[in-house]
Amino acid sequence: MNKTKVLAKMIDHSILHPTMTDEDLKRECEVAKKYDVASVCVKPYAVKQAVEILKGTDVLVGCVIGFPSGNSAIEVKVFETENACKNGAVEIDMVINIGKTLQGDWDYIEKEIGGVTNASHKNGAIVKVIFETDYVSNKEDIIKLCGICTKVGANYVKTSSGFGFVKGEDGKYSYTGATISNLELMKKSVGPDVKVKAAGGVRSLDGLIAVQEAGCTRCGATATISMMEDAIKRFGK
């Protein structure tokens, strides 16, 4: 597999913006199909449509759970996971309860991640756990989350939802997303069976290569077209 294809198979093409319509979903699934990326990541209601559009391709369908803020009850996240899998999702990207994490309620977090992981695995799906590192920025918390994900058998740890906007004192919102330092920390803090996904702020081919070099095997992206066109120019098809 050449460099361009390897990079394509890192990409989870994100189709998650709140304003997206069914026509947008179709268009973006066609983008994923054209470049033969790893997967599309869609909202729960869109799973069936994405599965139908991508039938006969190697592009997998993933679904977000408790998205984007992670505030749903554990039982709701588990149901949402089961429903997504029933509709054809084979990858689950869940957002943790951020407030419970920040207060150090690790029993709750283990129960939550474990519940979604078990529901995913019982239904033949893998699970990626979104830490939302713009909020959960303390290194010790990130290390603790990595330990919990390893313990309960999650398949991936993931930096961000792409929507973790932090409100400043001036009332304006800022966003960082994936950083190399956090990715490297996550990579060294998980067990050997847990992989790392970058998400948030990776918008260029060089950015994609940088997170690959930091140890990521998946990367959430909306800038898939520009990334892949640049990869084709640089490395060929």
| Distance from the first to the final alpha carbon of the chain | 10
Catalytic residue, from 77, 128, 144, 197: name it.
Answer: 197
Is there a catalytic annotation at residue 93?
A: yes
Distance between CA atoms of residues 40 and 111, nearest Å = 27
Is there a catalytic annotation at residue 197?
A: yes
Sign of CA dihedral 81, 83, 85, 91: negative
Is there a catalytic annotation at residue 158?
A: yes
State the DSSP string of 92-147.
EEEEP-HHHHHTT-HHHHHHHHHHHHHHHHHTT-EEEEE--TTT---HHHHHHHHH
2 neighbors 222 (Cβ within 8 angstroms)? no
Catalytic residue, from 77, 128, 144, 158: name it.
Answer: 158
Catalytic residue, from 12, 93, 134, 141: name it.
Answer: 93
Would you please indicate which residues are annotated as catalytic (active-site) residues? Answer: 93, 158, 197
